[in-house]
Structure 1
């Protein structure tokens, strides 16, 4: 692996030198590929276009990110920003590379979570668009356009992660391939209309499964906090280390989103039948609400309090999109019709 890692570092250096003037572009792309974007950005947009596909986005994002966490704990992947210093192979010829605010993630690097979740979630979205175009236009060329976009998005997200020194190229490839397989598989089992008990069991299953794996690995002498200590040691700026990039943040985010999805369907099965204009208003209000909910600062100490509040935050988000905002808009439009 030493050769693979070394070539990955030189590739990152070459990419930074050739495209540093597009720094803001790469940072934007890596932000759009963040697993959180599936819950905060893609979910409300897709849900108000097609309810089943919107639910599928949350389902696929949560399960694929949880599996990514499990893979990372078991594969112990390095990250370029700390491996450059830890390997001590570049003392005579150090690479001319920079770190960025999005670089210093604290979890292991293999496979890439950005690539894996993006690959899974975007497959759900583009396959739905392709099916719609095929049913309306019956054109193979037009149907192929969403899949071309899919490939371009994966390439852009992968290059952005290499550019900021968050991942090696082979971690991008394995994450993208695994995410594609998960997207195809999980898209066939979307829990639309499932009972609240199903989501409670799913949430508890993910939580207890991850905790059991964590305990088992720690019990046999494997220190799963090794990546956090390396990230803190080699990150250029300490304030770039964020609690929401830790493995347990991913776990609480995924469990919270699934529970929130179940509660939303429990409170209002089937949702509200809204015309296009009220849906557009719902999207605007939901996006505004999710933006401010996500911006609310959370106390990082003690960690248990942070993870609990983080769990509650992502439990609320599906309910905001599927119940609270549509219910409010439905109430307003119903009153106008009566008047």
Structure 2
């Protein structure tokens, strides 16, 4: 793998040298490819356009990110920002590369979570958009537009991850292909109108499955904190090390979102029936609420407290989008009609 890693580092160096003036654009793209963006940005937008597709976004995000965590624990992928230093191969000819705030993720690098989750989630969205365009226009040319945007965005996300030294090219390719396959399969099994028990069982299954795998690997002498140690050692800015990039943060995020999705459908099966104008208001209010919920600071110590609060945060988010905000807007519009 040394040759593959070395070529990946030189590619990152060439990409940084050639496109450093677009640093802000690369950072924006990598932000839009973050798995959290699926919950915070794509989910509310898509849900108010089509409820089933919105639920599919959460479902596919949770399962694909959980599988990405499992793959990372098993595959032990390096990350460029620490491998450059740990490999000792660049003592005489060090690459001219630099780190950025999103660089210092603490989990293993293979496959890329950004590429994998984005590939899966965007497949759900673009396939729905393509079907809608085809049903309205019967034009295969217009139907192809969402798929073209899909490919372009995946390429941009992958290059952004290489640019900031978060991943090697082969990790991005592996994540993209795996995510595409998951998106195709999971989009056929969307848990719309499923009972709350299904979501409780799925949440517990994801949590206990990850814990059992973690305990089993550690029982056989595998140190699963190795990547956290390396990230802390070689990150150029210590404040770039974030708790929400740790493997257990993604686990609690996914479990919370899964439970929240079940609770939202339990409180209000089928959702609130709203015309297009109130839906626009719902989108604005939901996006504002999610933004502030996500910005609320959480204590990083002790870690268990952080994970519990992080779990609660993502349990609340689907209910804000699917129940609380639409319910408020429904009552508001109903009152105005009565007056």
Superposed, 1:279-294 pairs within 5 Å as 279-294=279-294
Q: Partner of 1:308 in structure 2?
A: 308
Q: Partner of 1:162 in structure 2?
A: 162
Q: Partner of 2:335 in structure 1?
A: 335
Superposed, 1:218-229 pairs within 5 Å as 218-229=218-229
1:260 is displaced (CA, Å) by 0.1
Looking at structure 2, the residues matched to 231 and 272 of structure 1 have their Cα atoms a distance apart, in angstroms, of: 45
Looking at structure 1, the residues matched to 10 and 307 of structure 2 have their Cα atoms a distance apart, in angstroms, of: 37
Q: Per-residue displacement from partner, 1:91-131 (whole Å, max 9, x unpaired)?
A: 00000000000000000000000000000000000000000
Q: Partner of 1:204 in structure 2?
A: 204
Q: Partner of 1:179 in structure 2?
A: 179
Q: Partner of 1:24 in structure 2?
A: 24
Looking at structure 2, the residues matched to 129 and 324 of structure 1 have their Cα atoms a distance apart, in angstroms, of: 27
Q: CA RMSD in A?
A: 0.3
Q: Partner of 1:273 in structure 2?
A: 273
The 3-state SS of whatever aligns with 1:74 is: helix
Instruction: Give the TM-score taking structure 2 as reference length.
Output: 1.00
For structure 1, the 5+ residue unaligned runs are none
Looking at structure 2, the residues matched to 129 and 30 of structure 1 have their Cα atoms a distance apart, in angstroms, of: 23
The 3-state SS of whatever aligns with 2:8 is: helix
Superposed, 1:1-339 pairs within 5 Å as 1-339=1-339
Instruction: Give the TM-score taking structure 1 as reference length.
Output: 1.00
Looking at structure 2, the residues matched to 268 and 142 of structure 1 have their Cα atoms a distance apart, in angstroms, of: 36
Q: Per-residue displacement from partner, 1:301-333 (whole Å, max 9, x unpaired)?
A: 000000000000000000000000000000000
Looking at structure 1, the residues matched to 45 and 271 of structure 2 have their Cα atoms a distance apart, in angstroms, of: 15
Q: How many residues align?
A: 339
Structure 1 outlier segments of 4+, above 6 Å: none
Looking at structure 1, the residues matched to 300 and 241 of structure 2 have their Cα atoms a distance apart, in angstroms, of: 12
